[in-house]
A = this chain, B = another copy of it.
Amino acid sequence: MASGAQDIAKGAKAAFDKSQLVPASERVLALKIIRDELAARKDEILAANALDLKAAQAEVDAGRMSESMLKRLDLGTGDKWDSMLQGILDVSGLPDPTGIVSYASELDDGLELYRVSCPIGVLLVIFEARPEVVVNIATLAIKSGNAAILKGGKESNNSTVLLSKAISAGLAKTALPDTYIQTIQSRAEVSSLLALDQYIDLVIPRGSNSLVQNIKNNTRIPVMGHADGLCSVFLDESANVDKAVRIVVDSKTDYPSACNSAETLIVHEAVLNTVWPKVAEALLDANVKLLVDEPSLAALKASSSHPRIESYVSPADDEAYNTEHLSLTLSVKTLPSLSAAISWINAHSSHHTESIVTESDESASIFTRGVDSAGTFINASTRFADGFRYGFGTEVGIATGRIHARGPVGLDGLVTYKYMMKSKGEKGHIASEFGTGANKRPFKHARIDAKAVPF
């Protein structure tokens, strides 16, 4: 056990406990101050970012890092810096997710119960590569009232250290404790922290399936994982060809490296010779490589002479259907019925988002209920699975589990609740007075219409 990790975790819990008596308005103010600290330190931070970029360029040159990862490290590119700062203000302006009453009941005359949202406690958030995520996550944690310990990718260490210093400098100007947001650099610290379930309440890993699985294997702290999306589109027997083309092409090509992009196309065999060839041609036109099964290959060859069939279409092996391509590649599976498609999806998908293209209300209803995924869509692209598109104003990520929060997670995924009860009775309230029998009375259980706790 690194004593450093113990100190960090204890510091975070102490900060959380102390912060419970700091009003939410102070958290909004802190976000404004942090934004200003970052703005004032822009040159310094971008200079540190340049060091990360230089090291990354050497890795790219040596063939050990992809160009796209290098690009994700760059804080100065395009409007990324300004977006990061504006994001702080956007989140600070969202409604406070804490203090909201979701259940209120008068249990007896003068005995009132309120279920009220409150922060979870201490979050340990682990993510990869992009340095601005430190700022995004710190913003979400502060807005929702949680203390947080953040670990970014080692490739962005220089940038992360300076971003964290700015956040700490901002916090020091507020009533919030200075250990409210802490960052760590090493994997060893993560390992030590994963053992400290007395201080840490939730681990949020954002990254690959293997990162999430590895963390789940090594902690008894609850884990809200954000991992792979193995999304699919199903062309039902009543699929409209124009909708099918638009939705499949968008689901695959709008942003291929996103987790809500489609990786698998499932074709009802009834449309193999009608809808499927049109969809395939549109995909080939969009430079999409197709990994197909025998029926879909035969149907395509019989109906189309698209010039790319030879070079862009190849047989799928079993692994193709379990692969998150994250590129312009799509696996294609032919199945004989809607129910076969539902069973196949439930067995193969990552339970992220699936869409049906259909003109049948009955098929749509069966699909949305029978498919066990966080998103079940009718005639809409899988790419809509996103916190901003859903209207949450921000996004912690897209949770691939089904406990606590599922699918795109907004600020309300970072809160839990507590039950507050108040007796206004002259003698207080005790439980032994309730029940059946002599001198006992029943509970009243009259719902109270309240949005906030009145005491």
Contacts and interface: CB of A to CB of B under 8 A. Distances in A.
Contact of A17 (B343, B374, B416, B455): B343
Interface in A362-413: 364-366, 368-370, 372-381, 383-385, 389-391, 401-404, 406-408
Given A224-B403, A385-B419, 6 more contacts: A20-B370, A107-B384, A107-B389, A197-B216, A379-B428, A379-B429
A184 to B, nearest CB: 22
A364 B376 CA distance: 45
A17 B372 contact: yes
A66 interface: no
Nearest to A407: B419
A423 interface: yes
- Say whether chain A's binding surface is mostly helix, strand, loop, or mixed: mixed
Contact of A391 (B17, B105, B120): B105
Interface stretch (A131-139, A163-171, A243-251): A243-251
Given A343-B17, A419-B376, A384 B431 contact: yes
A259 to B, nearest CB: 13
A374 B455 contact: no
Interface in A245-275: 246-247, 249-251, 254
Q: Chain A: interface residue count, which band? A: 35 or more
Contact of A389 (B16, B368, B417, B431): B431
A246 B429 CA distance: 8
A421 B378 contact: yes
B380 A21 contact: no
Contact of A374 (B390, B418, B425, B443): B418
A312 interface: no
Contacts of A277: none
Interface in A97-126: 105, 107, 111, 113, 120-121
Given A107-B391, A391-B443, A430-B250, A120 B380 contact: no
A452 B330 CA distance: 35
A163 to B, nearest CB: 27
A242 interface: yes
A68 interface: no
Contacts of A315: none
Contacts of A21: 366, 369-370
B401 A418 contact: no
A427 interface: yes
B389 A434 contact: yes
B246 A428 contact: yes
A439 interface: no
A357 interface: yes
A222 B403 contact: yes
B17 A430 contact: no
B17 A383 contact: no
